[in-house]
Structure 1
């Protein structure tokens, strides 16, 4: 009876930590989803342009995602060791690195905007290219604040605070939705155009304004909120190279993993861009469906990373393993239900993004292919979260390369381009990636070596 109660208590703790992250991920996804739905009803070219630029931006964000992971893992370990002073020091060092990187990133990205877009998407139709370039230049202005949000949000999650990032994301999402609804198609009152219709430009401006506000809120919470890792405006900004190195030691492999993954996504996007505007639009619908399914999984992944990291920091090895197993089991059950729902309502889901009958038909097929493989997505992400908490990052880098480049891209290219299956071949390659990586992470988890690594 006591064992059963203990298990129930742990499951409850996982769910309590996961649900704010799940809600946050839903809201993050909705920021992009709202923009995609709005521009999808402008034209197929519009949804293709926005989709390909978002893929490029996600690639650029990979280094900051790694810095966020480094901050999450180190803060979780230090909180587990009850060393709150060094946890705050870690946050300050992450913020300093964040500021240096985003200044360089923004300047570089703006100066070389045209060459960058031409390098990756030079083969797309002229209207898609022009819309994409305009969208890119506007959202780039909000990227520094996205970086701040990513890194500081990671620190809060490492400290076990998943609710604050959720509230901030809810604010960003609400602002983005309101501004999108006002600016994309404009506002006409009594036959008078109260607000002009800005189309794709309106969507870009809406997302950027929302992200800027979110970044400032995150900084306010860091300095004026009441959290374990709060900084003070009276604190002197100082460099602590040993702490920076500790964060980077975790963050660099995580960034490398993200570079491999986002680089793979970008190459796949380039391959898809040679298949025509309709295929690009269908691919974006499929990736949005992927995001929809990933929402709950992301929450359980973060819960696993935080709980396993704190348990290992407190030297509670068996508890860390139990958290990993339970998080994985709950995530698989949840994602299976979502997969069934997505399979049944695939056509209705695809219709949210486009009014083109052919795009809707193809999009529904792609969503159903993905729905069938959903449990593997849960295993892949939750167990990788456990391994990240343990510092087993080079293994994750290797699996990312194997899954994305040897299976997703290679098989997708052969089936999609060489064998003429088009976008369906690309999606089959994606499914192979999920299966391979889920098996690799399961094997590594069962080996148990991750429990004794030092970070």
Structure 2
């Protein structure tokens, strides 16, 4: 299967683009399904209060920080499965170590995850009322956090091996479970208890349980993603940590930094925070497209790197980068033309919509830059150079986003200030990633 992902530099770019799109499309659709889940959760709880919207939205942002711990096993599993598949080696050791690591990381979170998350939310500027509602949403999720982490490791192994269609089918099932039970439990429909915000959390937890059952079914009855042999190579464990740890640190620090950044917006009140969350939900359509192609770039980079097909790697990444930037640029235009209409899909409060429109217009200008940053970051990770994205993302976030926002907010107290610097930072980060990628690939070709 890995041969299908090896890039021939003599191929036309259209042919390569089709090959990559075929790989990326199920990933994009899977992530769009996640966006739909998040959107429906926001829409459903919007019938409760604007505080409920802020609670569920901010909780989802904070969960990105918690799930950054998952990056240790997810990235190590995905990259090593891709590299071993490209080199014609058995991917089993990378997958098995990933499962063990993910379980061990998640287990402590079962007991103190909710308290830790809500504590951080308050420290970052959320109101006590938002934190109290958030704990109800988070309790079911953390009760089954080990299931969620193991499910993600399966997802990583499939993507690294090049089978992106099976995870999409599982994601579709999980989305249906999430949305159905969230609707039933938030408002107590058809005899189910009315749990309000907690019901949205149970929708997430139940979807993870059904997702793991689906992955186990695919392995037991179809031997997917590949026949697993009980092989625990110690060097694979060490490589998993070497590759995964920088990404875990990167995502953890970046996510924590992001919530510091969101705290700047939250300081202007729950309506500004709600507008930020609505803007993120709308923008997430573009972000998920970029994320899908970023995963594809990691797989293509990893498999071609493992096969020592360096010129094919360079040609493939170049094609993916320009393709993704074109698509996200079009989405950016759409955000500029219809910001109010898109915001109204999530919330009816006129003040929240007014602020969300400003957010969307500002971030729309940096969508192509976000595409380039994502693809070159994915390419570096596929080559195992995960320490480079760690340094770039953290440095860029603080130097060009948080610190300037903090300084200028003293002069211009408005949520527009951090949003403007968010767009500026994305542009500068894309340029830095490009030069870092060029320097790395030039040593190979």
Farther off after superposition, 165-174 or 133-142: 133-142
Q: 1:17 Cα deviation (Å)?
A: 0.4
Classify 1:327/1:369 alpha carbon distance in 2 versus 1 (closer, same or farther; 3 Å): same
1:25-36 equivalences in 2 (<5 Å): 25-36=31-42
User: 5+ residue gaps in structure 1?
Assistant: 188-192
SS at match of 1:391: coil
Alpha-carbon contact 2:397-2:425 (below 8 Å) kept = yes
Classify 1:438/1:89 alpha carbon distance in 2 versus 1 (closer, same or farther; 3 Å): same
- Per the alignment, residue 403 of structure 2 pairs with 410
Q: 1:411 Cα deviation (Å)?
A: 2.1
Alpha-carbon contact 1:22-1:295 (below 8 Å) kept = yes
- Per the alignment, residue 291 of structure 1 pairs with 284
- Per the alignment, residue 418 of structure 2 pairs with 426
Matching residue within 211, 215, 218 for 1:218: 215
Aligned: 1:308 with 2:317: no
Q: 1:270 Cα deviation (Å)?
A: 2.8
Matching residue within 341, 355, 369 for 1:376: 369
Alpha-carbon contact 1:41-1:353 (below 8 Å) kept = no
Aligned: 1:227 with 2:224: yes
- Per the alignment, residue 91 of structure 1 pairs with 95
Structure 1: how far apart are the matches of 2:68 and 2:57? 17
TM-score normalized with structure 1 length: 0.90
Q: 1:289 Cα deviation (Å)?
A: 2.5
Classify 1:334/1:194 alpha carbon distance in 2 versus 1 (closer, same or farther; 3 Å): same
Matching residue within 198, 217, 224 for 1:201: 198
SS at match of 2:144: helix
SS at match of 1:42: coil
Alpha-carbon contact 1:387-1:450 (below 8 Å) kept = no
- Per the alignment, residue 82 of structure 1 pairs with 88
What is the CA RMSD across the aligned residues, in angstroms? 2.2
TM-score normalized with structure 2 length: 0.92
Classify 1:222/1:405 alpha carbon distance in 2 versus 1 (closer, same or farther; 3 Å): farther
- Per the alignment, residue 133 of structure 2 pairs with 131
Alpha-carbon contact 1:286-1:367 (below 8 Å) kept = yes
Structure 1: how far apart are the matches of 2:338 and 2:200? 27
Aligned: 1:393 with 2:375: no
- Per the alignment, residue 445 of structure 1 pairs with 437
Farther off after superposition, 357-366 or 211-220: 211-220
Cα deviation 1:211-238 (Å, max 9, x = unaligned): 2211232233344433353337xx5xx7
Matching residue within 326, 333, 338 for 2:331: 338
Q: 1:322 Cα deviation (Å)?
A: 0.4
Q: 1:163 Cα deviation (Å)?
A: 0.9
Structure 2: how far apart are the matches of 1:107 and 1:421? 39
Structure 1: how far apart are the matches of 2:181 and 2:367? 33
Alpha-carbon contact 1:328-1:383 (below 8 Å) kept = yes
Matched residue pairs, number?
437
Structure 1: how far apart are the matches of 2:268 and 2:442? 42
